[in-house]
Amino acid sequence: MSAFKLHHVQYGRSFRVLWLIEEAGLEDKIGPLEVVEYQIGTAEMREGGLPRVSPAVRIPAIEIGDMAMSESPAIVEYLVETYAPELGVAPGAAERTDYLQWIHYSETMASLIEQLNLQMVFLRPPAKPSPIVIKLNVARLRATLKGVEARLEGRDWLLDRGFSAADIMMGFNLFAAPFYLKLDEFPNIRGYIDRMEAMPSHQRTVAREGEQRFYAQDFYPVPEE
């Protein structure tokens, strides 16, 4: 049995954890990683080993020896504090509050993406997505992106000190958001994405993931009422 295991869905929230593992070289510190991949929306998430380690039966979840935990912000904070402090900000240090703010801001944005995924990807005929709900969630997603755009004015990364786990948390969102909202109005975010994609650890993570299999089209417009 592997001493280091990640329960994972391709390009889901667990991408954050996989990228952190690559960036911090955690396999050198902990041991070889076993990735248990699930097909989202199938029975295998409940029938496999995920319920044992994730109370909500959701990814990501990690196991390190006898320790198991779920929820991507918690996992990222734990891994950084335990194995990669260079990617975090210690209590009492400058930018600690900003660091925590942006770690969890990412989940506000991710929850909107999740709602759009449920409406636009998971619903199957005869069910139909609600144009009003989609329009509202796209507007809310745009508002969260405006917050990131403003934060990045004059900065390469979310923190003045440089790249951190807060950027790793945000990276998943910025992979998914363009399926629902064009980023032409966000030049700072576009540059931010370019910087992420140029990082060797990000490139290794994407190579490990392979071609995405979740979205069936490049863009999902708000359906007509």
Residue 167's CB: how many other CB atoms inside 10 A?
25
Q: What is the pLDDT of residue 206?
A: 97
- Tell me whether residue 222 is in a domain: no
The H-assigned helical ranges of 118-219 are 131-151, 165-176, 187-198, 200-209
Of 112, 100, 85, the closest CA to residue 177 belongs to 112
Whether residue 1 has pLDDT greater than 80: no
Within a domain: residue 209? no
- Whether 53 is covered by a domain: the verdict is yes
Cis peptide before 60 (omega within 30 of 0): yes
Nearest to 17 by CA among 146, 141, 150, 168: 168
User: How distant, in Å, are the alpha carbons of 36, 91, 118, 141, 176 from that of 115?
Assistant: 25, 33, 5, 10, 12
pLDDT confidence of residue 48? 81
Kindly give the residue spans of alpha helices, DSSP state H, lying in the chain: 14-24, 26-29, 44-47, 50-53, 72-83, 96-117, 131-151, 165-176, 187-198, 200-209
Residue 60 falls within a domain, yes or no?
A: yes
Question: So what's the pLDDT on residue 100?
Answer: 97
Which structural domain, as residue segments, surrounds residue 15?
A: 4-87
- Same-domain pairing of 9 and 52: yes
Nearest to 213 by CA among 20, 43, 38: 38
- The token pair at 113 is 């993406």
Averaged pLDDT for residues 125-133: 90
**Do 163 and 82 share a structural domain?**
no
Q: How many CB atoms lie within 10 A of CB 220?
A: 19
CATH number of the domain enclosing 14: 3.40.30.10
CB atoms within 10 A of CB 75: 20
Mark whether 111 and 71 lie in a shared domain.
no
For residue range 133-168, what is the model confidence (pLDDT) as tens digits?
999 999 999 999 999 999 999 999 999 999 999 999
pLDDT in tens, 171-207: 999 999 999 999 999 999 999 999 999 999 999 999 9
- Which pLDDT does position 3 carry in this prediction? 87
Choose one of 69, 87, 105: the last residue of a domain: 87
| pLDDT given for residue 125 in this prediction | 79
User: Tell me, what's the pLDDT at 2?
Assistant: 60
Instruction: Say whether both 169 and 102 belong to one domain.
Output: yes
Q: pLDDT digit string (tens) for 42-100?
A: 788 888 888 999 999 999 999 999 999 999 999 999 999 999 999 999 999 999 999 99
pLDDT number for residue 137 = 97
Q: Tell me the C-alpha distance between 47 and 184, whole Å.
A: 42
CATH code for the domain of 136? 1.20.1050.10
pTM for the model stands at 0.94
Residues 39 and 117 in one domain: no
- pLDDT value at 208 more than 90: yes
pLDDT in the model for residue 13: 94
Q: Tell whether 51 and 140 lie within a shared domain.
A: no
